[in-house]
Amino acid sequence: MRKEGLGVQRNTEKGKLWKQLKDGYLIWETIGRKAAEQQQWKSHADALCVKRDTKRI
């Protein structure tokens, strides 16, 4: 009975740790995705500026 209690406690701790890691990864993933989207929009804006400048020449 004592071993079963330890197993439940271990699983609970493992679950908490997994949730913390998962939440941290999701936050990191969201930040990474946002940075990639910002870079993509910046690249599009730069490309449009270059295209507009070449039409003027």
User: How do residues 2-51 score in pLDDT, each as one tens digit?
Assistant: 455 555 666 777 777 777 777 777 777 777 888 888 888 888 888 888 87
d(CA 52, CA 49): 5
| Rounded Cα–Cα distance for residues 1 and 28 (Å) | 41
Residue 1 has pLDDT above 70, yes or no: no
pTM above 0.75, yes or no: no
pLDDT of res. 24 = 73
Q: What is the pLDDT of residue 57?
A: 58
pLDDT for the residue 2: 47
